[in-house]
């Protein structure tokens, strides 16, 4: 398995990038940068590319609503160029809170749009003249589509480093998980519980793989997790509480009551009663009680926290569930401890 690490989109970005060289030296394979209603991640990914030499760099994620498909393709080609072929395009639908609340764009038909985005991006990277007549995107825009009629099919002027840049879909819902297994190079889930992954994702993955083109490589599964290797009980308790609080935030408060993808995932994992209790408590303002209601199995299953032997066992559990990359947030309080933990994680994953 490869070892990745996310960079937070708030905080001391410059210092974190300086420290990346040390992570790179101990075997970190991949760095991922998120984008929400923050600084754009593209400019920062370019900076990371210039400061590193072997790390793969990935967007995690660029939403498909705030950039046109051709702009996503141009951006990916540019980042692949400045990184000498080290870029991975991570995309996703995000959610209506960001897409409509911040960008002012209607959040609709994520699966249908995603399929068309992939087709257009791959045309751009092949340097085809881009022609796409879809339900959601029409390139070029004709008079019949409401355009001036002056547009014509164009191809990318530059010659991309690669004619197929790997694309990863961040997805939790069955339709998008199936889509990732059908047409993407990789799939990135959050809160991945290896022991219950088959219940939550197995059917959708199987349906997508049944339609997968033989031209595509085997599906990469890049899993977000949190990690701390320690035998210090106090340090471990702090990390466990951080994971518990984060799960409560997402399961309880991320989205409207009937539109919370993370709550629905907890239900698919089998935590039906707990999912309802967490949401009820969180939405009523009882955040501490909501965190306390998160099942221990979920807390310790989606994260890797504890003594070295336990963390090594969790790595094997993820490997056996088909995971190909661990996107692990190190929770140690010092930089030296975080670097050491990444080095040990790389050892366990090798």
Q: Is residue 317 part of a domain?
A: no
Q: What are the residues whose beta carbons fall under 8 Å from the beta carbon of 131, sequence distance 6 or more? A: 123, 139, 140, 153
Q: What are the tokens at 102?
A: 């911040």
Q: What percent of the chain has pLDDT over 70?
A: 99
Residue 314 forms part of a structural domain? no
For residues 62 and 207, membership in a common domain is answered with: yes
Bridge partners of 45? Answer: none
pLDDT surpassing 80 at residue 11:
no
Q: Which residue, among 91, 68, 80, 122, has the nearest Cα to 187 in the 3D structure?
A: 91
Is the pLDDT reported for residue 10 higher than 80? Answer: no
82-91, 118-127, 182-191, 247-256: range with lowest mean pLDDT: 247-256
Residues 265 and 335 in one domain: no
11 and 111: one domain? Answer: yes
- What domain range is 163 assigned to? 2-225+322-349
Task: For residue 312, tell me if it sits in a domain.
Answer: no
Residue 14 has pLDDT above 90, yes or no: no
The 3-state DSSP class for residue 245 equals: helix
Bridge partners for 138 per DSSP: 133
- Tell me: pLDDT of 63 over 80: yes
Q: Same domain for 45 and 150?
A: yes
CB distance 125 to 161 below 8 Å: no
- The total number of structural domains in the chain stands at 2
Q: pTM surpassing 0.85?
A: yes
Residue 316 lies in a domain: no
Mark whether 285 and 339 lie in a shared domain. Answer: no
174 shares its domain with 93: yes
Residue 212 lies in a domain: yes
15: tokens are: 């210092």
DSSP-based three-state secondary structure for 290 = helix
Q: Is 276 contained in some domain?
A: yes
Task: Report yes or no on 311 lying in a domain.
Answer: no
Q: How confident is the model at residue 197 (pLDDT cuts 50, 70, 90)?
A: very high
High-pLDDT (> 90) share of the chain, %: 92
Confidence band for 228, pLDDT divided at 50, 70 and 90 = very high
Do residue 44 and residue 128 come from a single domain? yes
CA distance linking residue 162 with residue 179, whole number of Å:
23
Pair 299, 331 in one domain: no
Quickly state the pLDDT bin for 274 (edges 50, 70, 90). very high
Whether the pLDDT of residue 17 is over 90: the answer is no
Q: Helix axis angle, 233-253 relative to 261-268, nearest 10°?
A: 110
Given a cut of 90, whether residue 225 has pLDDT beyond it is yes
Are residues 332 and 185 part of one domain? yes
CA 205 remoteness from chain centre = 17
Q: Are residues 214 and 245 in the same domain?
A: no
Q: Looking at the structure, do residues 124 and 175 belong to the same domain, yes or no?
A: yes
**What is the model's pLDDT at position 209?**
98
Contact 177, 200 (CB under 8 A): no
CATH code at 219? 3.20.20.30
Q: Is residue 290 part of a domain?
A: yes
Three-state helix/strand/coil letters over 5-45: EEECCCCCHHHHHHHHHHHHHCCCCEEEECCCCCCCHHHHH
156 and 255 co-located in one domain: no
- SS3 label, residue 322: coil
């Amino acid at each position: 398995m490869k070892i990745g690490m996310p960079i937070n989109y708030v905080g001391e970005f410059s210092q974190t990038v300086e420290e990346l060289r040390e992570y790179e030296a101990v075997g970190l394979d991949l760095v991922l940068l998120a984008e929400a209603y923050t600084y754009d991640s593209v400019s920062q990914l370019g900076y990371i590319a210039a400061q590193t030499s072997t790390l793969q760099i990935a967007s995690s994620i660029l939403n498909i609503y705030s950039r046109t498909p051709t702009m996503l393709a141009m951006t990916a080609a540019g980042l692949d160029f400045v990184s000498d072929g080290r870029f991975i395009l991570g995309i996703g639908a995000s959610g209506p809170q960001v897409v409509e609340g911040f960008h002012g764009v209607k959040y609709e038909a994520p699966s249908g749009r995603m399929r068309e985005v992939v087709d257009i991006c791959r045309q751009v990277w092949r340097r085809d003249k881009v022609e796409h007549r879809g339900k959601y995107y029409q390139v070029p825009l004709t008079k019949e589509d409401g355009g001036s009629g002056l547009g014509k099919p164009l191809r990318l002027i530059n010659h991309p480093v690669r004619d197929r840049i790997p694309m990863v879909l961040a997805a939790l819902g069955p339709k998008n998980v199936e889509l990732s297994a059908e047409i993407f190079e990789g799939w990135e889930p959050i809160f991945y519980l290896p022991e219950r992954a088959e219940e939550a994702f197995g059917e959708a993955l199987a349906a997508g793989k049944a339609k997968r083109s033989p031209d595509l490589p085997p599906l990469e599964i890049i899993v977000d997790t949190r990690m701390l290797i320690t035998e210090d009980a106090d340090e471990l308790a702090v990390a466990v509480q951080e994971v518990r609080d984060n799960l409560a935030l997402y399961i309880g408060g991320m989205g409207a009551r009937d539109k919370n993808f993370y709550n629905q995932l907890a239900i698919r994992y089998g935590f039906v009663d707990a999912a309802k209790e967490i949401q009820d408590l969180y939405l009523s303002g009882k955040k501490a009680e909501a965190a306390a209601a998160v099942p221990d199995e979920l807390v310790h299953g989606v994260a890797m926290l504890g003594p070295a032997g336990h963390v090594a066992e969790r790595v094997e559990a993820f490997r056996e569930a088909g995971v190909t990359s661990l996107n692990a947030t190190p929770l140690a309080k010092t930089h030296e401890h975080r670097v050491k933990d990444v080095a040990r994680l790389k050892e366990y994953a090798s």
